């Protein structure tokens, strides 16, 4: 039986859970930990002791519940999916009115909404919070996107604030809305993460296959870009990955890695939700699809053989300073468009789900701790501070930046396309931009077709109302 009353219980002591315990305990909050694998509990107890924190390890959920002071906070850091439901089912009869269950995993926000509804009337407060930053973030400061009942957040806030990353002293945590709001925002974060990574990979592809640069040269370029407008964690680690040697062979490690990217699903969720909301996030979609295509290694090898005879135009990229600066500008511009898409999805969801997502605050809490942390998020926060816009591409600062950079993006996509170098995310960003800024598009033709074959009706440009035309029989 546990001895001391602690502030919070953590269920699931895998890498993320254990690091969260260390983080919470290091800030003076007594923590109780439970994991079905007892070894992990023992190791963790030693580690927390080592940093002078207060920690109780228990062998069951009921012991955990007794070891936490009321109102009890039980934070689950377990794999998303049925295990979360199992833990809730086991915890519910043990907890009392006013106690809080927190799911801190990468959970589908639809599940959080469902679980919140299922617990209605139980007196328990259910929260889904998105935690970004991987192992190091969990240990030393994560970006935390909180959702759930506001009264639960008021109780959780001191702990979440303490364990959050800091940007110039400001904790990267915020309450974003009821039920699934936190998990939704984390999902969009991951969709943007995919887009960011894919666009960087495409620029790498241009440098490698269009300019024949070696990894050391590319690493230097990315490290230099990390000093400028592209400054971000992902650009920084790109420089590091490109410079790394394989300890066994001495070769560049990046060249030995199979080009088939994994995915756990959150990027895919982001684009599925974007589609459901009718807020096409084409750059995010291209990034998710690129990962899927990358995993079809055998088919790609076969296609490479079948189409080996095709001769693409010689790449027209320039490797001098101006040429590299053009790639930098192209990436910066496409990045603005990708983020504009991600934020537009959140803006639409905010209305549909009644969350009132604070977009500027979201940009602010992504400035440190999370995977997409960057200088650029400061600009987005500042953009929203100046007033609400339907899309970041309409915010005056971004209008100026995109107007300046679109030529570089257009030339980069064109050169890559002519040379047969795939740039699915960069070209999706450009196409979205061109589509978005065209006052009269081509959907009039689509509407005509729909009305012809299905009497789906259309609106006219010259008068109000809904019309159906008697088209010639075809
Ligand atoms: C984070 C990350 C993290 C994500 C991994 C793996 O914010 O810390 O988004 O939550 O799960 O990056 O994602 P994939 O396996 O789907 O690439």
Domains of the chain from N-terminus onward: 8-179 (3.40.50.720), 190-436 (1.10.1040.10)
Q: In the prediction, which pLDDT does 52 show?
A: 84
Instruction: Collect all residues with Cβ–Cβ distance below 8 Å to 383 and sequence separation of at least 6.
Output: 360, 389, 392, 395, 397, 398
Q: What is the pLDDT of residues 443-471, one digit of tens each?
A: 999 999 999 999 999 999 999 999 999 99
Q: 429 CA distance to ligand 1 centroid (A)? A: 22
Q: Which atom of ligand 1 is nearest to the CA of 134?
A: 8
CA 313 to centroid of chain Cα atoms: 36
Please determine, for residue 48, whether its predicted confidence score (pLDDT) is greater than 80: yes
Q: Is 263 exposed, middle or buried (0-12, 13-18, 19+ CB in 10 A)?
A: middle
3-state secondary structure of 106: coil
Query: Catalytic annotation on 46?
Result: no
Query: Catalytic annotation on 464?
Result: no
Q: 92 CA distance to ligand 1 centroid (A)? A: 29
> What is the largest distance, in Å, between two alpha-carbon atoms of the chain?
84
Q: 150 CA distance to ligand 1 centroid (A)? A: 27
Residue of the nearest CA to atom 17 in ligand 1? 263
Instruction: Collect all residues with Cβ–Cβ distance below 8 Å to 308 and sequence separation of at least 6.
Output: none
Q: In the prediction, which pLDDT does 64 show?
A: 96
Residue of the nearest CA to atom 14 in ligand 1? 263
Q: Which atom of ligand 1 is nearest to the CA of 371?
A: 7
Q: 269 CA distance to ligand 1 centroid (A)? A: 12
Q: What is the pLDDT of residues 326-346, one digit of tens each?
A: 999 999 999 999 999 999 999
Q: In the prediction, which pLDDT does 42 show?
A: 66
Residues with a CB atom less than 6 Å from ligand 1: 106, 132-134, 190, 193, 262-264, 266-267, 370-371
Q: What is the mean pLDDT of residues 24-53?
A: 85
Q: What is the pTM of this model?
A: 0.95
Please determine, for residue 1, whether its predicted confidence score (pLDDT) is greater than 90: no
Q: What is the pLDDT of residues 163-177, one digit of tens each?
A: 999 999 999 999 999
3-state SS string for 164-180:
ECEECCEECEEEEECCC
Query: Of residues 40, 193, 273, 328, which has the active-site annotation?
Result: 193
Q: What is the pLDDT of residues 341-400, one digit of tens each?
A: 999 999 999 999 999 999 999 999 999 999 999 999 999 999 998 888 999 999 999 999
Q: Strand pairing of 73-76 and 8-11? A: parallel
Q: Which atom of ligand 1 is nearest to the CA of 267?
A: 16
Query: Of residues 7, 186, 202, 326, which has the active-site annotation?
Result: 186
Cis peptide before 430 (omega within 30 of 0): no
Token look-up 């979201």 returns 362
């Amino acid at each position: 039986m546990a001895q001391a009353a602690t502030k919070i219980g953590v269920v699931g002591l895998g890498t993320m859970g254990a690091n969260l315990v260390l983080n919470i305990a290091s800030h003076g909050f007594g923590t109780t930990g439970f994991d079905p694998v007892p070894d992990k509990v023992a190791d963790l107890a030693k580690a927390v002791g080592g940093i002078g924190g207060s920690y109780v390890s228990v062998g069951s959920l009921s012991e955990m519940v007794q070891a936490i002071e009321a109102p009890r906070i039980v934070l689950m850091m377990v794999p998303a999916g049925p295990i979360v439901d199992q833990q809730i089912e086991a915890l519910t009869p043990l907890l009392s009115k006013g106690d809080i269950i927190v799911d801190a995993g990468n959970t589908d926000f639809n599940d959080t909404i469902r679980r919140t509804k299922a617990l209605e009337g139980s007196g328990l407060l259910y929260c889904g919070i998105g935690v970004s930053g991987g192992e190091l973030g969990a240990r030393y400061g994560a970006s935390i996107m909180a959702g759930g009942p506001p009264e639960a957040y008021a109780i959780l806030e001191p702990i979440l604030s303490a364990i959050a990353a800091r940007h110039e002293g400001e904790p990267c945590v915020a309450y974003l809305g009821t039920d699934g709001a936190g998990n939704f925002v984390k999902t969009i974060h991951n969709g943007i993460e995919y887009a960011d990574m894919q666009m960087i990979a495409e620029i790498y592809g241009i440098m490698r296959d269009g300019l024949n640069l070696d990894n050391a040269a590319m690493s230097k370029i990315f490290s230099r870009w990390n000093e400028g407008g592209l400054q971000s964690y992902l650009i920084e680690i790109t420089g590091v990955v490109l410079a790394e040697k394989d300890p066994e062979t001495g070769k560049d490690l990046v060249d030995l890695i199979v080009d088939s990217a994994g995915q756990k699903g959150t990027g895919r969720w982001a684009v599925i939700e974007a589609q459901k909301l009718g807020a096409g996030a084409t750059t995010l979609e291209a990034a998710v699809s690129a990962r899927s295509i990358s995993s079809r290694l055998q088919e790609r090898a076969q296609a490479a053989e079948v189409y080996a005879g095709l001769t693409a135009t010689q790449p027209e990229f320039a490797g001098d300073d101006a040429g590299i600066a053009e790639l930098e500008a192209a990436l910066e511009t496409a990045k603005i468009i990708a983020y504009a898409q991600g934020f537009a999805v959140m803006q639409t969801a905010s209305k549909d789900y009644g969350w009132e997502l604070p977009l500027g605050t979201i940009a602010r809490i992504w400035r440190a701790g999370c995977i997409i942390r960057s200088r650029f998020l400061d600009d987005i926060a500042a953009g929203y501070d100046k007033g609400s816009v339907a899309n970041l591409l309409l915010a005056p600062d971004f209008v100026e930046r995109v107007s300046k950079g679109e030529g570089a993006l257009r030339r980069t996509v064109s050169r890559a396309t002519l040379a047969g170098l795939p740039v699915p995310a960069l070209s999706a960003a450009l196409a979205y931009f061109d589509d978005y800024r065209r006052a009269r598009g081509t959907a009039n033709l689509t509407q005509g077709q729909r009305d012809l074959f299905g009497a789906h009706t259309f609106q006219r440009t010259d008068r109000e109302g809904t019309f159906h035309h008697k088209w010639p029989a075809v």
